[in-house]
Structure 1
Amino acid sequence: MEINDLHTFLYDYFTAHHCEIVLNQNGMLTVQLTEEMDRALMNRPFYWHYIKKMGHPGEPKQLTLITNPEKRDGKHEWIHYGSPRLHQIVNHLRDHEKYTKLFERVETYKNQALFPWLIANIKISYQGKQKKDEMVSIGLHLVNGTMRLKMMEELQYKELQNTISDYCYTITPMIKLHSGFKRIEKVLETYVDDQDHDWALQSQKTMAEEIDLLSHFYKNKTDEETMQKEISEIKKRYSPYIKFDVINGGLFYLAENAV
């Protein structure tokens, strides 16, 4: 996934949580956190406990994240796939806002149909000798089956709300949610199959070399149980596999020309 996708993901995340975007340019994102987001991300429980005990409103911090490695300056926080900060954000989404139901805000004085989209933000984890995470945003039109990648970017400038606008009505999905997730899963499996899997071959090679070295070490020893335990640890460390994690998503009702 390109760095711009990570940047857009972060922009969407903070704007969705009502944080003011102070700076957004050249792979740098500065946001003014709300109290809620400061509590969630900045690890200052004693500050907030003290400030509330004193009866003061408190001052949420500003957070500057660098998504472009070429812009790293040592003063601000570089965020990338696999970084603790990104894992923290992903875990916050998973714990608090995994599924939602939203409607596009439409100004109209005549009947307007809104069509159902199943949208999922999914983390693909490549595990082996080296680890890599990739974020994918995908949307499925639940009436005609159209599928779109980078769906969150498509919705970046759409105004969404929890209630349906006046004069609007929803179209009943033709594709059930369970079937929709299966379609998305199939697309992701095809996407992964088409990738270069040299990383997996390298992991298997390293695993075989480590086990061979360990076998030579235990060649004249009788501690079979310990050797098998260490072999098991090597396999756990190097055996390549790929997994999908649904970070969040939901049902979005959009106007026909929304995307």
Structure 2
Amino acid sequence: MSLDSAVSFDLSGKLAVVTGARRGIGLATATALAHAGADIIGVSAHIESGESAVGHAVRAAGRGFTSLRCDFADRQAVTRLAGNLTSLERPVDILVNDAGTIARAPAAEHSDADWDHVLRVDPTSRFQLTREIGRAMLARGHGKVIFTASLLSFQRGINVPGYTAAKSGIAGLTRALADEWAGRGVNVNAIVPGHVAADNTQALRKDPVRNAAVLERIPAGRWGAPEDFGGVAVFLAAPASDYVHGALIPVDGGWLGR
């Protein structure tokens, strides 16, 4: 298959599960995958049971949409979600692990409760879900897994020790799973967002000193937008990336290169 052919990026007939799909990068990713042809199962702790922004966007692209709720801090809830997804008549072709959370406090004041919550939601629930869906992908001999990592997978984080540990873990998990699964037809990769104008960065953007420092460091000269991640997600979900395994792809306006 020629990589310059549109078919290399065609997701028609594919089923994608996107966690954290209610807003931000998850919403933008689900929308992009739908425009590439995939039907979407959007999962979030608080996704609307009726019409949602992500459901509207996916259906507007002409694709099917199902919403599921899951508290990713609850291991039993994640187990139930995995069971529901692996028992579908239609197999999951693409798993996008975007659900996450953050707790901001200096390390000396960072509580055990905050630490445990962040670690349960991010690396633990993602491993649980990926293990179960990945097992079915391995049995079929194909599948795509996409994690959302962070600049803090590589760099220090100020006042976010739990989040930094979680995102460092996601980088390692991406590589570990890719090492085991690449030869069995399952691609595991990660997108590394830079500083994105989203809910979890609102405090930084409202701080004039921190906001100016961030913008000064970004060669592109702006905060990222959730829509900046759709193209990379489609690439990693599509046949075009069949020989890409264990990659952590920065979408950061040039931050890591400076």
Specify the TM-score bucket, using the shorter chain as the normaliser: under 0.3
State the TM-score, normalized to the length of structure 2: 0.23
Larger of the two Rg values belongs to structure: 1
The structure carrying a bigger helix percent of its residues is: 2
The structure carrying a bigger strand percent of its residues is: 1
- Does 1 or 2 have the higher relative contact order (CA < 8 Å, sep 6+)? 1
